[in-house]
Amino acid sequence: MNKYISTLALCSILGLATGCKLEAGSGQYISQERHNEMLGDEDVKPGIAKAALAKTYVMFQEYNTSHDDGGLKAFHLFTDLMCEDVAYTNTSWFKFDYQIGNSEANYRRTRTMWRLFYKIVSNINLYLETYYKEVSTDSAYLKGSAEPLAIRGIVFFHLVNMYQHTYKGHESLPGIPLVLTTSPTDKPARATVEDTYKQIIKDLTPMATYGQETADKTDVDKFVAAAYLAKVYAQMEDWANCEKFAAIAKMGGNDMISEPGRSWAIKGTADILWGADVTSANSALWASYWSHVDQFLKRGYAAGGHKKFIHNALYAKIPATDSRRKLWVNLTDYPDIAQKIKRQARNKEVEMEDFDQMKFIAGEDGMEQDYCFIRVQDPILLEIEAQIEQNKLTQAAANLNAFAQKRDPAFVAATTQADLREQVRFQRRIELWFEGTNWFDMKRWKLTINRDVPNTNHPVVFTMATDDNKFYHMLPISELESNPNLKQNPR
């Protein structure tokens, strides 16, 4: 990490300074001298800073070293495939993650994700030192520094969960090194999980408190920060704060019912809180998220037969009255839907098989379709879960009925805490299926991954506790070699 960050800082300086655009996407660049001069103008400085931050957002989406190394959506893919709700043909990229066999210290997954996330951290630290070095209580400072801090908090949240067990019950275990400066001599040891979460909360809270809503869904705004804070507090089982920030986050979007072939364009799609604007200029094509999930494309890995399915055991639990059953192929109950989607497909050779997903279809934009990082349904359901855990059962039941009955008119919320808990967990599993949430949820719920059920459609079958040491990732060898203060995870 320090080995990587020390060389990264110089490159980032060039990106943030000498190559800084006047406006994000404007195509107009300024020199180092002009950049420094403009920083002295308090009226111009926010625009310069915002343009520089745009470079960091690109990292959440762009292709890196291999076709399973494509930013935050790659993280969503490999983590959900480690669980039980997504079955896979087990024939291409991500198959070793699916087998729980891609987490050793010398393997690519642990190296590439560490490198990506700490690259973002390094850029954020440099950004803060360049534009917000002098700490202030001025409102302009608080608002301006809140966005990069929130980005760093989101990254730390992903890192600590990848390299350690969930928060509750593991507070004193080593978490991750909290790199907060650009100094190449700064070689921090792993902070405890508790201290790591304190830093995450410190980073996310200003945006959730002082931030504003932005029209551009590519930005981390007030509602995105609040959504991740709710997720953080859920891991900590701090249900009062989880409820508080989930309630803020849900104001950033509108709940909508997903149908087969729904839109994933971040502009004009009411339930998307944060995503990436994918275009012909920045699409990763074969390495893209859509290549891996959408079998209806004319080309791509999924179109080539490497499909992802819903676990048939999970599908069997979805009531016949729930409209979300139609998000997956069911040739017995919904043959007309399957045929309609096939007629619309670019891939005319696609085979429609039971349990195929029809939720993630790129449509006319193909591999240039946008990426969704988080939807408003995540905090909506977290708020309900937090109410249940605080024994606010009447309120929770009313909110759960309001959410679920849009999708299943026959749904009736339970009356006991235990039954309500199971209901909201099930709602999260089917509503947020394959969106990068299930792995986080299974870890904090401390549930066992169980693919070993009768007639399963999983080709790789096992049971594993989510607090098993095989379920987290080992630190990369290169980082242990460059930082003597880092200690490896036990196996």
Check residue 2 and give its pLDDT.
Answer: 47
pTM for the full predicted model = 0.92
- With contact defined as beta carbons under 8 Å apart, do 151 and 120 qualify? yes
Residue 54's nearest CA partner among 12, 17, 23 is: 23
Q: Over the stretch 50-87, which tens digit does the pLDDT of each residue have? A: 888 998 999 999 888 888 888 999 999 999 999 999 99
Alpha-carbon gap, residue 226 to 222, rounded angstroms: 6
pLDDT < 50 regions, the chain: 1-27
Amino acid (1-letter code) at residue 448: T
Long-range pairs of 453-459 with CB within 8 A, sequence gap ≥ 24: 453/313, 455/312, 456/87, 456/311, 456/312, 456/313, 457/87, 457/309, 457/311, 457/312, 457/355, 458/84, 458/87, 458/311, 459/87, 459/88, 459/89, 459/90
Contacts of 198 (CB under 8 A, 6+ apart): none
Q: Over the stretch 18-48, which tens digit does the pLDDT of each residue have? A: 444 444 444 455 676 777 777 766 677 777 8
Q: What is the architecture of the domain spanning 73-258+375-482? A: Alpha Horseshoe (1.25)
Alpha-carbon gap, residue 149 to 151, rounded angstroms: 5
Alpha-carbon gap, residue 50 to 26, rounded angstroms: 12
Check residue 69 and give its pLDDT.
Answer: 83
Check residue 29 and give its pLDDT.
Answer: 59
